[in-house]
């Protein structure tokens, strides 16, 4: 059975007075993969270390595993598996010895150890490397060994702290897919820390977006991506384009353009009922290139990046800052020429302007 983790009113101020985490509540369901996503220093690792038992929450905080209070329990008692960015493997031991290590410490018999290690190595596709020393392995292979070692002891909870950061982009995507499959197969409760939004969207059943020691939003990848709750989340998950507008009479006014409200904008903010200045956030697919007569806006192409399946245009003249707009790879685009575009109005995230000022990074 998979372990449910509850953190209640957990906060963390370090001895030197650094307040890493404001009090927060978080329930991680048994078998769920939770991704903690946020910029450097927002407190992700501190949460992970609290779950592991390497850090304790401030007085008043409580952590339970399946209802059992583990708040003051040491890491050995909690039965958590950990995988870090730096592999923390024993360099002088072989792959098989590394994976067997935790089993030996736990008093598993030699025969049983051999069976379990073989199964782990096979699952991680490193069975042919069993007798190699760690310093004879590539980064990706080492990370596979680290994963095999962490899950060999059948932990209640698997904690992963930026395990793929040190690897090159292609390998990262491949191992990410493998980790995803592995977590589904094991059905183990997992907490995964990253600052990479693509990794978070690909791996998480739910994502916890963190900002300066607070939870900015908890949601499924789709919710986080399509319905960011505030400007910080919108910005952090890649809605880099911004435009100012006004809400009046339940309509959105941008310059001389007027747009009817659309379901989805107002999910969190009841924007339709609001009056006053707003800030719009959208991705490169929020505006589409079109003919002049269909256009909401006309801008000027400042730069073109060819991305293979599409082109990403940098366009000035629509708002105070240049916009990123994606268009088909085959569209004719020339730097310095005019470009007409229309809003994909349902792709907007819209917030009161004062929120946008205080929230965005």
**Which 8-state DSSP code applies to residue 135?**
G
Among 9, 18, 321, 328, the residue binding ligand ATP under the rule CB under 6 A is: 18
Residue in the block written with tokens 């903010």: 269
Nearest to 94 by CA among 137, 30, 46: 137
Report d(CA 59, CA 78) in Å as an integer: 20
Phi, psi values for residue 227, rounded to 5°? -130, 65
From 3, 4, 33, 45, residue interacting with ligand ATP (rule: CB under 6 A): 45
Does position 23 bind ligand ATP by CB under 6 A? no
Token readout for 277 is: 């200045």
When binding is defined by CB under 6 A, the residue of 32, 33, 37, 43 that contacts ligand ATP is 43
In the complex, the smallest distance separating the C-beta of residue 343 from ligand ATP, rounded to whole angstroms, is: 35
- Contact pick of 3, 4, 33, 46 for ligand ATP (by CB under 6 A): 46
d(CA 277, CA 259): 14
CA distance 219 to 229: 10
Q: Position of tokens 């708040």?
A: 71
Catalogue the E-assigned strands of the chain.
Answer: 5-13, 19-28, 33-37, 62-65, 68-69, 80-84, 157-161, 189-194, 206-211, 214-219, 241-248, 251-254, 257-260, 276-282, 287-289, 297-306, 310-316, 323-328, 338-343, 349-352
Figure out which of the listed residues 41, 139, 238, 352 binds ligand ATP, where binding follows CB under 6 A. 41
Lay out the site mask for ligand ATP across 191-220 (x = CB under 6 A, - = otherwise): ----x-------------------------
Minimum Å gap between C-beta 42 and ligand ATP is 4
| Alpha carbons 6 and 62: distance in angstroms, whole number | 8
Beta strands 214-219 and 349-352, pairing class: unpaired
The single residue among 10, 38, 84, 126 that binds ligand ATP, judged by CB under 6 A, is: 38
Closest contact distance (angstroms) between CB of 57 and ligand ATP is 13
Report 280-299 residues binding ligand ATP (CB under 6 A): none
Q: Which stretch binds ligand ATP (CB under 6 A): 39-47, 94-102, 268-276, 290-298?
A: 39-47
Percent of the chain that is helix, strand, coil (3-state, to 5):
30, 35, 35
Contact call for residue 57 and ligand ATP (CB under 6 A): no
Asked whether position 361 contacts ligand ATP by CB under 6 A, the answer is no
Nearest CA among 222, 214, 219 for reference residue 42: 214
Give least dist CB 219 to ligand ATP, A.
19
Residues 321-350 that bind ligand ATP (CB under 6 A): none
Question: Which of the stretches 44-52, 122-130, 135-143, 318-326 binds ligand ATP when contact is defined by CB under 6 A?
Answer: 44-52
* Contact assessment for residue 36 and residue 25, using Cβ atoms and an 8 Å cutoff: no
Q: How far is the CB of 246 from ligand ATP (least distance, A)?
A: 36
Work out which of 7, 10, 11, 20 binds ligand ATP, going by CB under 6 A: 20
Residue 35 CB, nearest approach to ligand ATP (Å): 13
Closest to ligand ATP by CB, 21 vs 301, is 21
Phi and psi torsions of 300, nearest 5°: -125, 135
**Contact present, 287 and 342 (Cβ < 8 Å):** yes
Applying CB under 6 A, the span of 11-19, 106-114, 152-160, 225-233 interacting with ligand ATP comes to: 11-19
Measure Cα distances from 359 to 230, 233, 234 in Å: 7, 9, 10
Task: Please identify, among the stretches 38-46, 143-151, 296-304, 337-345, the one whose residues bind ligand ATP according to the rule CB under 6 A.
Answer: 38-46
Q: Mask of contacts with ligand ATP, 154-193, x by CB under 6 A?
A: ----------------------------------------
Binding site residues, ligand ATP, CB under 6 A:
14, 16, 18, 20, 38, 40-46, 195
């Amino acid at each position: 059975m998979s372990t449910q983790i509850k953190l209640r009113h957990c906060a963390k101020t370090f001895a030197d007075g650094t307040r890493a985490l404001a009090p927060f509540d978080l329930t991680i369901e048994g078998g769920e993969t939770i991704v903690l996503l946020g910029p450097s220093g927002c407190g992700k690792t501190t949460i992970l270390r609290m779950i592991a038992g390497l850090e304790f929450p401030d007085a008043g905080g409580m952590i339970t595993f399946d209802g059992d209070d583990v708040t003051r329990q040491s890491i050995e008692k909690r039965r958590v598996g950990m995988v870090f960015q730096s592999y923390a493997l024993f360099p002088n031991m072989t792959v098989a010895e590394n994976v067997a290590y935790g089993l030996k410490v736990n008093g598993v018999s030699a025969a049983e150890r051999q069976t379990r290690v073989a199964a782990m190595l096979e699952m991680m596709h490193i069975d042919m490397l069993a007798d190699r020393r760690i310093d004879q392995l590539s980064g990706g292979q080492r990370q596979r060994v680290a994963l095999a070692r962490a899950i060999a002891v059948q932990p209640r909870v698997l904690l992963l702290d930026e395990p793929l950061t040190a690897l090159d982009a292609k390998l990262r995507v491949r191992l990410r897919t493998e980790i995803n499959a592995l977590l589904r197969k094991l059905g183990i409760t997992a907490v995964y820390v990253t600052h990479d939004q693509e990794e978070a969207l690909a791996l998480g059943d739910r994502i916890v977006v963190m900002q300066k020691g607070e939870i900015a939003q908890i949601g499924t990848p789709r919710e986080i991506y399509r319905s960011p709750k505030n400007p910080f989340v919108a910005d952090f998950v890649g809605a880099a384009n911004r435009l100012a507008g006004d809400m009046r009479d339940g309509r959105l006014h941008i310059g001389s353009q007027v747009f009817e409200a659309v379901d989805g904008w107002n999910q969190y903010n009841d924007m339709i009922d609001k009056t006053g200045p707003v800030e719009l956030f959208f991705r490169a697919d929020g505006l589409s290139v079109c003919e002049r007569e269909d256009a909401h806006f006309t801008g000027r192409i400042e730069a073109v990046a060819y991305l293979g399946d599409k082109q990403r245009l940098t366009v000035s003249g629509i708002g105070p800052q240049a916009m990123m707009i994606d268009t088909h790879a085959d569209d004719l685009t020339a730097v310095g020429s005019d470009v007409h575009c229309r809003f994909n109005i349902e792709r907007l995230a819209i917030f009161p302007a004062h929120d946008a000022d205080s929230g965005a990074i």
